[in-house]
């Protein structure tokens, strides 16, 4: 059945669905007045049930909860009959708004409409400092923080769609954005990223945070973070009080913050990793060989929840075992999986499939009923974030019992997000594993090849050390992406396919340029070097400029303006270094210099090529 306009009868439609239908009508062909197909709703007691059946002029929808009805409406828009159910009480997302990209309210509302139609009923905006805290001018300074009014607007909009907005912040670690301002926050600083436990000023600050979020959002659940505090108690705390076991510092702080949450009628949740990390000398989260000491377990605050985050494991049994480890210490965890937007230029569908599928299978088998997907923006949030809409669509199919049917996903994605699901999967090859195995490929990615210095080649050398066949694989990969997307570049309703094409085009040129430059330089082929300087480099500069312009366009489409400067600084540096490469080649060919030292000298060891500053230069002074 092809997509048709939908209408609903206000008198016949359950009142709990009115706001959902009215809100969706802002964008989709849904009306209470007229249309081609009438939406008819029947509620059922069957948990997580939703179905769509088309009869003469009607779409008969059966649903259990508003979220199930919203998903059924999405299927109806796609012209798809369905009979689905989900075991999950909560199915949501967490968008990172702390690594430069703060999504605009207007664009997040667009996301909320899509999330509702796909069957999601919870969302978090991860904000370390990117909210305007009264009396704290450095919170979100030059970073586009959300105002109280903006958060209330988002909350009202989400509730209208049946989506719970849960605050997601930090109350111990990951506070480097504010702790860098020594004059303002020196008193509450333990280490560069961790707040000072037992300091009164620390809890005065946290109380302000809790007060903000208590007023901003209607949900009484709040995520207070507290993850990855590896150096807790090892900075000013130790100077002031001496050594104390990390477990005891952590539990004492958690208990204090939990009590503060009670004041605002909030139930906190934290990431669970530190309990497991501190149980072993390596501070490894996923360690099955060490147990949390019983005295520590006995002191864990109990009016709270733990979030088990795991974006990496590809084995269902590991998830099952680790869920049970949470239960052994008395907690029914929430599951925090991940749709891969970090370290990638485009949502990595291949990695999603390898990690999300076994995770959801484990959650089903263990009857865990709260799951959400993190969307991190590590190292500057350079992923084309709307590309993850295809990931949402795919993951929702898994949650509602679908079999990943390509035709159904294409129809759903086109009806809900407006783009081509197939094109998104092609663009997702930008995150493909072009090295010899997936484990090693997790630590390297196209973004850092994109910003690898064209003369120094630090990332280049690292990749060759990992896999000598890397160059040919990379050129072949980027060539294939360009070829497959060449006539699809105007597809920009969801993720911008032209943006992906421009990345692939520049990457194939860059890899081929360095390959040819090194070959010509090492063999003394000056004619080839002249051609690279006179013909190839100008084409690369134009390609790099096109990428830079596309990044700007993408950023202003989705995010507040702050944070763009980071990517523009990187791109501007790349352009200047490409120009410098041309100058150095010409100086060498003209006899001004006897060699090009930047092209010489290599290490035979892999480097930290998943960090921008480690591929832009060999210096720490950046």
Domain 432-616 classification at class level: mainly alpha
Label residues 18-54 b or e (16+ Cβ within 10 Å = b).
ebbbbbbbeebbbebeebebbbbbebeeeebbbbbee
C-alpha distances in angstroms, 164 versus 69, 91, 155, 158? 16, 10, 8, 7
Question: Is residue 123 within 8 Å of residue 92, measured between CB atoms?
Answer: yes
Among 500, 574, 509, 572, which Cα is nearest to 539's? 509
The 10s digit of each residue's pLDDT in 275-316 is 999 999 999 999 999 999 999 999 999 999 999 999 999 999
- Degrees (nearest 5) of the Cα angle 343, 271, 306? 140
C-alpha distances in angstroms, 40 versus 4, 22, 52, 116, 225? 15, 15, 10, 18, 42
Q: Is the pTM of this model over 0.85?
A: yes
The yes-or-no answer to whether 6-85 and 432-616 have a common fold is no
pLDDT under 70: residue ranges of the chain = 1-2, 433-445, 609
The 10s digit of each residue's pLDDT in 149-199 is 999 999 999 999 999 999 999 999 999 999 999 999 999 999 999 999 999
Q: What is the predicted pLDDT for the residue at 213?
A: 98
Question: Is residue 219 within 8 Å of residue 266, measured between CB atoms?
Answer: no
Domain 90-419 classification at class level: alpha beta
Q: What is the predicted pLDDT for the residue at 444?
A: 46
Q: What is the predicted pLDDT for the residue at 607?
A: 76
The 10s digit of each residue's pLDDT in 67-104 is 999 999 999 999 999 999 999 999 999 999 999 999 99
DSSP per-residue letters across 418-480: -S-HHHHHHHGGGG---SSSHHHHTT--HHHHHSS-TTT-HHHHHHHHH-TTHHHHHHHHHHH
Q: What CATH homologous superfamily does 6-85 map to?
A: N-acetyl-beta-d-glucosaminidase (3.30.160.230)
Q: What is the predicted pLDDT for the residue at 442?
A: 42
Q: Which residues contact 139 (CB under 8 A, 6 or more apart)?
A: 129, 130, 131, 132, 133, 145, 178
CA distance 143 to 129: 9
Where in the chain are the domains?
6-85, 90-419, 432-616
Q: What is the predicted pLDDT for the residue at 465?
A: 84
The 10s digit of each residue's pLDDT in 222-262 is 999 999 999 999 999 999 999 999 999 999 999 999 999 99
Q: What is the predicted pLDDT for the residue at 446?
A: 78
């Amino acid at each position: 059945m092809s997509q048709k306009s939908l209408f609903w009868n206000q008198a016949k439609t359950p009142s709990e669905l009115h706001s959902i239908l009215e809100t969706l009508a802002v964008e989709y062909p849904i009306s209470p007045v007229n249309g081609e197909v009438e939406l008819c709703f029947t509620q059922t007691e069957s948990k997580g049930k939703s179905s769509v059946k088309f009869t003469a002029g009607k779409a008969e929808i059966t649903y259990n909860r508003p979220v199930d009805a919203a998903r059924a409406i999405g299927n109806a828009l796609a012209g798809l009959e369905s009979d689905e159910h989900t075991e999950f009480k909560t199915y949501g997302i967490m968008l990172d708004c702390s690594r430069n990209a703060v999504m605009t309210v207007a664009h997040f509302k667009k996301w909320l409409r899509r999330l509702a139609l796909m069957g999601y009923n919870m969302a978090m905006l991860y904000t370390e400092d990117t909210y305007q805290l009264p009396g704290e001018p450095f919170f979100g300074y030059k970073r586009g923080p959300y105002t109280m009014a903006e958060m209330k607007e988002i909350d009202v909009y989400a509730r209208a769609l049946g989506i719970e907005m849960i605050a997601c912040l930090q109350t111990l670690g990951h506070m480097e954005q504010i702790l860098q301002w020594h004059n303002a926050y020196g008193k509450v600083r333990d280490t560069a990223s961790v707040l000072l436990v037992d300091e009164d000023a620390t809890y005065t600050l946290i109380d302000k945070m809790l007060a903000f979020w208590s007023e901003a959002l209607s949900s009484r659940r709040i995520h207070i973070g507290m993850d990855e505090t590896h150096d807790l108690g090892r900075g000013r705390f130790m100077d002031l009080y001496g050594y104390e076991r990390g477990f005891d510092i952590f539990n004492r702080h958690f208990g204090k913050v939990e009590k503060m949450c009670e004041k605002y009628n909030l139930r906190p949740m934290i990431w669970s990793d530190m309990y497991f990390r501190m149980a072993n000398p390596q501070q490894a989260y996923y360690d099955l060989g060490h147990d949390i000491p019983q005295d520590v377990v006995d002191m864990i605050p109990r009016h709270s929840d733990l979030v088990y985050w795991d974006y990496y494991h590809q084995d269902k049994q590991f998830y099952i075992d680790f869920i049970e480890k949470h239960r052994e210490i008395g907690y029914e965890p929430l599951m925090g999986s991940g749709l891969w937007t970090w370290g990638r230029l485009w949502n990595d569908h291949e990695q999603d499939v390898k990690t999300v599928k076994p995770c959801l299978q484990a959650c089903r088998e263990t009857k865990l009923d709260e799951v959400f997907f993190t969307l991190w923006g590590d190292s500057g949030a350079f992923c084309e974030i709307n590309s993850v809409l295809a990931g949402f669509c795919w993951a929702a199919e898994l949650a509602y019992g679908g079999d990943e049917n390509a035709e159904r996903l294409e129809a759903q994605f086109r009806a809900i997000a407006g783009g081509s699901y197939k094109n998104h999967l092609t663009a997702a090859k930008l995150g493909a594993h072009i090295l010899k195995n997936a484990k090693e490929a997790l630590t390297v990615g196209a973004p850092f090849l994109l910003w690898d210095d064209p003369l120094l080649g630090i990332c280049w050398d690292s990749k060759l050390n990992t896999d000598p066949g890397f160059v040919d694989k990379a050129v072949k990969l980027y060539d294939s992406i360009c070829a497959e997307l060449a006539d699809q570049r105007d597809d920009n309703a969801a993720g911008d396919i032209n943006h992906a094409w421009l990345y692939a085009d520049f990457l194939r040129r860059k890899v081929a340029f360095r390959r040819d430059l090194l070959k010509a330089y090492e063999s003394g082929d000056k004619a080839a070097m002249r051609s690279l300087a006179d013909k190839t480099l100008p084409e690369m500069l134009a390609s790099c400029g096109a990428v830079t312009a596309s990044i700007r366009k993408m950023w202003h489409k989705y995010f507040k303006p702050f944070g763009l400067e980071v990517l523009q600084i990187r791109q501007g540096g790349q352009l200047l270094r490409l120009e410098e490469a041309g100058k150095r080649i010409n100086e060498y060919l003209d006899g001004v210099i006897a060699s090009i030292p930047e092209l010489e000298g290599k290490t035979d060891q892999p480097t930290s090529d998943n960090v921008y500053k480690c591929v832009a230069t060999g210096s720490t002074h950046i």
